[in-house]
Structure 1
Amino acid sequence: MPRVVRIAGPAALVAVSFLALLVALAIGGGAAPQLLEDPGAVVRYGLPASTMLVNLGASGMIGAIGLTLFVFPAGSKAYARSLDVAAASAAVFTVAAALTGFFSYLSVTARAFSLDDAFGQGLGQFLTQIALGQAWLQTTLMGAAVTVLCFAVRNQTALFFVGLFAVASLWPMAQQGHAAGVNGHDAAITALGLHIIFAAAWLGGLVVIALLSRQIETGALVEVVSRYSSVALVCFVVVAASGYVSAELRVGTLDRLLTPYGVLVLVKVGALLALGVIGAIHRRFVIARLATSGRRRHFWWLVVAELGFMGIATGFAAALARTATPVPETVPPEQTAAQILTGEPLPPEPVFPQLLGQWNVDLIWVLVCGFGIVFYLAGVIRLRRRGDRWPWYRPVLWVAGMLLLFFVTNGPLNVYQDILFSAHMFGHMTLSMMVPLLLVPAGPVTLALRAIRKRDDGSRGMREWILLAVHSRVATVIANPVVAGVLFATSLVAFYYTPLFRWATVDHLGHEWMIVHFLIVGYLFVQALIGIDPVPYKLPYPFRLLLLLATMAFHAFFGLALMEGDGLLLADWFGATGRDWGPSAIDDQRNGGGIAWSIGEIPTFILALVVAVQWSRSDKKETKRRDRNADRTHEAELGAYNAMLGKLAERDRDEGDAR
């Protein structure tokens, strides 16, 4: 590829981003002078510009780390250069975040910059005591840490955790976006967080490929671009879905699309659709032509065009953050107790069948369930196309488990879990027992290891990462049946009788952690009992039944303790929601204890039944194995056993004669 074209791609991205930012600020009025206490043109334009640099730095950081983890072979020149790009991008991200925090202080206070003590003290208080300043301070410090780690760490496994930390550094930014008013706050944060993370991976990956093209041979480039294309497709879906949710919350109705904010959204949607078309061209035509002819010219011109449209989307995204939304973001002067606590209005009394109409969509779990179903079925189809057998009931169980997970995380339970302790407990028990009971027998790990192609070039794909995780020391410990049973049982006490319960109830991030924790702990426990996926150690069947009974007995004692208790857990929350329907808070908590005690009976019976069936089948298989061995060896084993008995009898006779 000519040097000018290789440089033109990233240059087009930066140039178009700044040009789009200026155009979007003019359309939306994001840099218009303020009527009262205007901070000045430098701050009005500098704040969105620095925010855009934060987004570009985050893209290079996330994209480069992602390529080292999933695309480039470890030890290759592209691998090392990609980490250099990640470190440089993280440095840009850090400086831009610090600059954004500084401009944010000037914008909020409308103070002129000075070197006196009063200005420094005010800036220090803003960064340490105000939520907006704390978010940018956290972002800056985390970005600095990622910069150092990208220089210091070269081990691919350790880089995985560096990548997680880099993704976590974007979370404070997500919490500072438009809150979409008092209602839909959690949905707005989730959508913005997903949008930032996956847009960064999408944009950054393409930029790094363009920058490092000289270090990649044409044959390897085809493989690199194919892998990136698969990641880009996932990113496109997530960015589109999260963008839609954000627009729905902040625009509201179709007529508001004619507002300045709505126009910016429409332009950004147009850029996204253009990127989707270019991505489709890449997947269907350009990659195949690159593989057959080896000519890079058409491919790289498409890359330049794609980066140009990404620049438009990046500039308009930065301007949208400074543009007033059609949906008012002011907090109503009068709020109910439920709105103060949960950020949502008090739902109506749960009465069937109206209860089924109550939904609170959590985009994270919509995407998890959707991708989970699509990828599992794609694996099954791949196996059957090459003639491999996969039992029909496993896909049925997997889809049912994913649909149940979707219902729990988005349906009525997600609406009422912050209002009723009983709803929270029902969701907990479903996540930790019923969902794993459907997912574990589907054997997702076994399917992935059989369906995903093995890599031979030294890079790690999903198959290699799954194998590494399954055989890691951590997995060996937590997958041990006894450890899994202890975790499953003690998680109840550790969660409900520690500050974790408050964090999971009050904080949206804690709520997401709670779902993940219950799923993992329940999955490990069910896997230890009836799982078909490979694990380091499996208990004999009698001990599996003992483990099941002991764990369920602990659940029953916990439920009885709640049923007979007089103290209200999280009294300043569940006792202060202001609901005028249903049982009292303490009675509802006792109902939750009854759910913890009784609902476990059904999955316990099913688990015991499955263990018994597996035990019986195992005995039958062992009997058949012995019969086949006897037929093959002409009863050699039985003959040897009879000969041994004969020798023992002869020895006894000899000893008797000697006496």
Structure 2
Amino acid sequence: MLAPAILLAATLAALLVGLGIGGAADERTLADPGALVRFGVPISRTLVNVSMAGLIGSVVMAVWALAGANPAGHAAGPRAADARRQGEPPAETRAAMDLAAASAAVLTVASAATILFTYVDVSGQSFSPDPQFGAGLAMFVTEIELGQLWMLELLLAAVTTVLAFAIRGRRLTLLVLVAALLTALPLAQQGHAAGASGHGLAVNSLLVHLLGAAVWLGGLLTLIFVARVVDRQRLAVLTARYSTLALFAFVGVMASGVVSAWLRIGSLDALFGTGYGQLVVLKTAALVVLGVFGAVQRTRLIPRIARSGLRVFAWFVVAELAVMGIASGVAGALGRTATPVALEPARDQGGRISPAEWLTGDPLPPELVFERYFTEWKFDLAWVLVCAFGIALYVAGVIRLARRGDRWPVGRTVSWVLGMLLLFYTTNGALNAYEQYLFSVHMLGHMMLTMLIPLVLVLGAPVTLALRAVERRTDGSWGGREWILWAVGTPYSKIITHPAVAAVVFSGSLWVFYFTPIARWAAQEHLGHQWMIIHFLIAGYLFSLSMIGVDPVPYRFPYPLRLVTLFATMASHAFFGVTLMTGDGLLLADWYGAMGRTWGATPHEDQSTGGGIAWGIGELPTLALALVVAVQWSRSDAKEQKRKDRAADRSGEAELEAYNAMLAAQAERDERAAARSTRG
């Protein structure tokens, strides 16, 4: 228990120092809630962050790094044998899931405490058993956005606690992981006021930051708990796997930290001239030190663990954990310190604002002309990292194959990289900058996400590359290869990859999305917009995979039926586009029709243009799909003919000779029958 105590002590000390630097705990001149609340809010909030890290990090390690069954050589004795007979997970996995359950329980309690402290802080009321206090608290968690988010956090934490205590099976642990990851969403939503400028970028950046820090800190805590039940050779293996996770987490935390800090600081003067900026500098220094720890861990510590035992590991990890505690404490202080740049929505700051800024939180961009398709950018860190990691992992797999002498088609690599670059542009370029204001740009981005990008990504065959490049594990744990093989063979996968289902989802999503309230949700809410991107990207990918994919799927239509399916989806898209072009009504009239644009086409003309994009430009990738199917069909026939020719060569044309003999015998029988008929 020494390591968790050091973590909490370092976190609390850094939090108190940070509160002093930023002045967040100073007595207020008006409506001061008292020292208990001034210190209670940041302390309880910091406990939320640390316990969430313990929860997420431990479950990630259990799913990806730890054994799901007792592998030979890593557990021995009567107790291990009994565990194997009873189907229990090995000691290392039990230790990780026990940490997850305990962390989830602490998260639940800390969330409840934060709700109470936050309500007292924002309402100005004192703690009281009076019914009026309870009624106000109930209103806070049901009608006020901040209270609703904290209530959602509490409920998610409670559900995750139950799941973490109840579940120990490998596959069902995925359910615990999903629930654990969801606990980060309410916290990310609180980091930037809805309707404030840069809200979407801030939420995604904070979500990346929270998840990265959670995997980083929680994974290290898990290693400490697991170190007590494994030998040093096994610990070296687990540390190496954690180090890989920590590397990705470090990149995400540093990148998101820079973006979040810049959104809130705004200038270099505020970086050193304000308490908030000084705390950012301190946190950045702690993260840089942690990066050095990670480099030393990968290059020097892991080889020494197997030789020197646990002493070197213990001293190193305790020091790293202390620095993590400092970073966590400073982060807690940052959450309570006033930012140099106001985070309130523009409509709450007073003054005159445009209708576009009222609706979106961001000023109306300049008129969209051709060159601005290449010069206007609206970056989204989450999708920047998705594309960067997607390219890096794919190229790493190709390099691994090349080093062992295996070839990988250059065309597939080019196709994958091109798809990722198109995804980067769609989620960060002019399409992202203008899609909130112009329906036609929104539709162009939609067609990119659901038709063109999936087409080129599927041709990259990422699953086949992963199955060839990722090493098979033999220690009872599941890595990338094992999870992919399991996912491909699940009943759910067989359903969603079936060509008929994929085609219905692909073509039907257009109608369901745009002619139901889902479209409004995606336009107005950041979470809805992210869901839209993910849904249409996956729907397009599954459809392209069922038509032309190289990666393994349970079933594909014969080539003639594939072409029929493609032409049917083309007809559905064309009808959708014509409906938009000829319709009298305006979709989301109080959104696209209320932006106050003084440039460009009218909202109705712009919607008609969007319908033309869905009908015309949107059909081009489908035609490309049809051409690829036709080429694959031709090649398949050619391969089949070559196979038959080789078989004939091996059998000495035995099949043809037998066929000719059959025809000759049939002709002879016909001649005899004709002769008998003539004589009769």
Give the TM bin, normalised by the shorter chain.
over 0.9
Q: 2:579 aligns with which of 561, 576, 582?
A: 561
Q: Which amino acid letter does the alignment assign opposite residue 54 of structure 2?
A: G
Structure 1 position 477 matched with structure 2 position 495: yes
Structure 1 position 97 matched with structure 2 position 115: no
Name the CA distance, whole Å, in 2 between partners of 1:203 and 1:164. 18
Correspondence for 1:251: 265
> Structure 1 segments of 4 or more deviating over 4 A?
646-659
Aligned partners of 1:180 and 1:249 also within 8 Å: no
Aligned partners of 1:178 and 1:321 also within 8 Å: no
Name the CA distance, whole Å, in 2 between partners of 1:604 and 1:122. 56
Correspondence for 1:138: 152
Query: Which range moved further: 331-340 or 26-35?
Result: 331-340
Report deviation, 1:652. Answer: 5.0
Structure 1 position 57 matched with structure 2 position 56: no
Sort the Cα spacing of 1:657 and 1:416 in 2 relative to 1 into closer, same or farther, 3 A: same
Correspondence for 2:465: 447
Residues 132-211 of structure 1 mapped to structure 2, 5 A cutoff:
132-179=146-193, 182-211=196-225
Aligned partners of 1:418 and 1:505 also within 8 Å: yes
Sort the Cα spacing of 1:508 and 1:180 in 2 relative to 1 into closer, same or farther, 3 A: closer
Sort the Cα spacing of 1:654 and 1:96 in 2 relative to 1 into closer, same or farther, 3 A: farther
Q: Which amino acid letter does the alignment assign opposite residue 613 of structure 1?
A: V
Structure 1 position 270 matched with structure 2 position 285: yes
Percent identity of paired positions between Structure 1 and Structure 2: 54
Aligned partners of 1:180 and 1:329 also within 8 Å: no
- C-alpha deviations, 1:319-361, integer Å up to 9, x for none? 0010011112344312211111111100111012144221111
Q: Specify every segment of 5 or more residues in structure 1 that has no aligned partner in the other structure, as ranges.
A: 1-6
**SS state at 1:534 partner:** coil
Q: Which amino acid letter does the alignment assign opposite residue 120 of structure 2?
A: L
Aligned partners of 1:105 and 1:123 also within 8 Å: yes
Residues 210-609 of structure 1 mapped to structure 2, 5 A cutoff:
210-258=224-272, 259-291=274-306, 293-330=307-344, 331=346, 332-333=349-350, 334-609=352-627
Structure 1 position 44 matched with structure 2 position 38: yes
Name the CA distance, whole Å, in 1 between partners of 2:659 and 2:170. 54
Correspondence for 2:75: none
**SS state at 1:387 partner:** coil
**SS state at 2:208 partner:** helix
Q: Which amino acid letter does the alignment assign opposite residue 117 of structure 1?
A: P
Name the CA distance, whole Å, in 2 between partners of 1:212 and 1:40. 42
**SS state at 1:167 partner:** helix
Name the CA distance, whole Å, in 2 between partners of 1:182 and 1:451. 44
Query: Which range moved further: 452-461 or 92-101?
Result: 452-461
Name the CA distance, whole Å, in 2 between partners of 1:545 and 1:243. 48
Q: Which amino acid letter does the alignment assign opposite residue 46 of structure 1?
A: G
Structure 1 position 25 matched with structure 2 position 19: yes
- C-alpha deviations, 1:287-338, integer Å up to 9, x for none? 12223x1422222211111101100010000100100111123443122111
**SS state at 1:575 partner:** helix
Report deviation, 1:645. Answer: 3.5
Q: 2:631 aligns with which of 613, 627, 630?
A: 613
Correspondence for 1:84: 98
Query: Which range moved further: 481-490 or 349-358?
Result: 349-358
Name the CA distance, whole Å, in 1 between partners of 2:663 and 2:237. 65
Aligned partners of 1:480 and 1:537 also within 8 Å: yes
Name the CA distance, whole Å, in 1 between partners of 2:661 and 2:220. 74
Q: Which amino acid letter does the alignment assign opposite residue 21 of structure 1?
A: L
Aligned partners of 1:180 and 1:328 also within 8 Å: no
Name the CA distance, whole Å, in 2 between partners of 1:219 and 1:658. 90
CA RMSD of aligned residues (A): 1.5
Query: Which range moved further: 208-217 or 264-273?
Result: 208-217
**SS state at 1:186 partner:** helix
Aligned partners of 1:62 and 1:86 also within 8 Å: yes
Give the alignment's TM-score, normalised by structure 1. 0.97
Q: 1:125 aligns with which of 136, 139, 143?
A: 139
Correspondence for 1:637: 655
Q: Which amino acid letter does the alignment assign opposite residue 72 of structure 1?
A: L
Query: Which range moved further: 314-323 or 633-642?
Result: 633-642
Name the CA distance, whole Å, in 2 between partners of 1:378 and 1:270. 30
Q: Which amino acid letter does the alignment assign opposite residue 277 of structure 2?
A: G
Aligned partners of 1:434 and 1:603 also within 8 Å: yes
Name the CA distance, whole Å, in 2 between partners of 1:419 and 1:122. 39
Name the CA distance, whole Å, in 2 between partners of 1:80 and 1:12. 23
Report deviation, 1:286. Answer: 1.1
Report deviation, 1:649. Answer: 4.5
- C-alpha deviations, 1:604-644, integer Å up to 9, x for none? 33222212211111111111111111111212222333344
Q: 2:66 aligns with which of 63, 66, 72?
A: 72
Name the CA distance, whole Å, in 1 between partners of 2:192 and 2:23. 16
Report deviation, 1:21. Answer: 0.4
